Each structure stands twice: as structure tokens, then as C-alpha cells.
Chain A
Amino acid sequence: DGGITQSPKYLFRKEGQNVTLSCEQNLNHDAMYWYRQDPGQGLRLIYYSQIVNDFQKGDIAEGYSVSREKKESFPLTVTSAQKNPTAFYLCASQPYRSDREYNSPLHFGNGTRLTVT
């Protein structure tokens, strides 16, 4: 079955350490996204990528980094520069049709809950 796999489900780190969250999809989707979810807030976009070897900053990119070396993989690194890293992180993907018709349903992973102490 096709889908998006995020791992691990729960992650604990000490303050000052970098941590990488995994996101893999076998849907052959071109676009991939990383969102952060905090209690009482809507999802916020961290980074997105529409094609391999290219990515753009979202609304809250500071303290995060990504790579897109393969179509199916879009790992997110939470660096020590991120001031409030404890959150629920969701990865999503979407097929690409054309510049004018990018609208199609998103597919989400099950998320990674990161706790930094």
C-alpha cells in the first residue's frame, strides 16, 4: 500500500542537540511538506519541496533544515537554533500536475512528537 511513513513516532532529545525526523513516501509524489502543530494553533509550514534537489522556506523555517536528495525522502533536521522545538511534526506529500493546477489532496504521515528537555 502506498503512503507516507514518518519515524520515529516519539522522539526525546536534550536541549542543544540536533535531531533529524524521517519522512518517506512511496506515492511517487513530487511535492513534500513539513508542518509543525502546536496546541491551539493551526498547522504551520516549515519547509516544502516541489522537486528533487530543490526546497523553499515556509513560514517558520528558522532553526530547521531539510534536504531532498531523492524523490521519496524529505528529512527534517531540528537544529539547536530552534528556540521552541517541542512540538508535533507532520510530513505531507502531494502530486504535481502543472503550475496552474497544483491543487490536489494532501497525503499526511502519522507524525512525530518531539520533546526537547
Chain B
Amino acid sequence: KNEVEQSPQNLTAQEGEFITINCSYSVGISALHWLQQHPGGGIVSLFMLSSGKKKHGRLIATINIQEKHSSLHITASHPRDSAVYICAVSTGANSKLTFGKGITLSVRP
């Protein structure tokens, strides 16, 4: 069983919808990362969090340490949000990350 599980596996939404992507992990972590990968392949770091909630523009990330669960929310979704969203966790001081398989999001106009 992968240490990092993401759901749903694929997601299609209409422009303007509120979107939630989930990430569950099975080990103790020091931080959780949300990453965005566009069709060209490059990856951008969206959030790194170890507790609570962070917001950047239309994106909100939350984490519940006790439940070992994090969510990434996208408000007022737009076709340019179409990408693969990857959750990754770091479990120690050496900061090696364990990655989920990613969720492919498609936002239709």
C-alpha cells in the first residue's frame, strides 16, 4: 500500500465549480507538500504545510495531523487550473519526500 494516497484519481469539473482534492498518508510527517504539474511536465510547489490552513489566491490547503489527511481546495475553478496535482510528505530531518500518484484535474469552459 502506498504511503500517500490521493483521491479521486481523475476529476473533471465545469468552470466556476469549487473543487476538492484529497490526500491521506499513513506515516508521521514533518511536512506535507502540494505540487502542480502542467502538461509540459514542469512542477510548481503550491503549498508546504505542517498544520492548519494556508491560502494563496483561489487555492486553499488544509491539513489534519490527527487524521493524517490534507485537502486542496480550488475556488471559482478555471480551465487554466487543469493540471496534475501531487501530494507529497516528508517524514524526517533529511527531507526525502514520498509522493502520491497525482490527480488529473480537467476544468471545462
- Cα-based distance from A114 to B102 in the complex (angstroms): 21
- Counting chain B residues whose Cβ lies within 8 A of the other chain, the interface size class is 20 to 34
| Given known A42-B4, A42-B100, A42-B101, contact A103–B95 (CB-CB < 8 A) | yes
Contact with B along A31-54 (1 / 0, CB 8 A): 100000000111111001010000
Report 27 cross-chain contacts, Cβ distance below 8 Å, ordered by A residue.
A42-B4, A42-B86, A42-B98, A42-B99, A43-B86, A44-B99, A45-B97, A48-B96, A58-B96, A88-B41, A90-B41, A92-B43, A94-B95, A102-B93, A102-B94, A102-B95, A103-B30, A103-B90, A103-B95, A105-B33, A105-B45, A106-B45, A108-B42, A108-B43, A110-B41, A110-B42, A111-B43
CB distance from A21 to the nearest CB of B (A): 13
Chain A residues bordering chain B, tally (CB within 8 A): 27
| Given known A108-B42, A108-B43, A110-B41, contact A103–B31 (CB-CB < 8 A) | yes
Report yes or no: B50 in contact with A103, Cβ–Cβ below 8 A.
yes
**When A and B form their complex, what is the total count of cross-chain residue pairs whose Cβ atoms lie within 8 Å?**
61
- Cα-based distance from A81 to B53 in the complex (angstroms): 45
Q: State the B residues within 8 Å of A (CB).
A: 2, 4, 30-31, 33, 35, 40-45, 48, 50, 86, 88, 90, 93-102
Contact with B along A101-117 (1 / 0, CB 8 A): 01111111111010000
By beta carbon, the residue of chain B nearest A39 is B101
Q: State the A residues within 8 Å of B (CB).
A: 31, 40-45, 48, 50, 58, 88, 90, 92, 94, 99-100, 102-111, 113
Given known contacts A58-B96, A110-B42, what 10 new A-B pairs fall within 8 Å (CB)? A42-B2, A48-B96, A102-B90, A102-B93, A103-B50, A105-B45, A105-B48, A106-B35, A106-B97, A113-B41
| Given known A104-B48, A105-B33, contact A111–B42 (CB-CB < 8 A) | yes
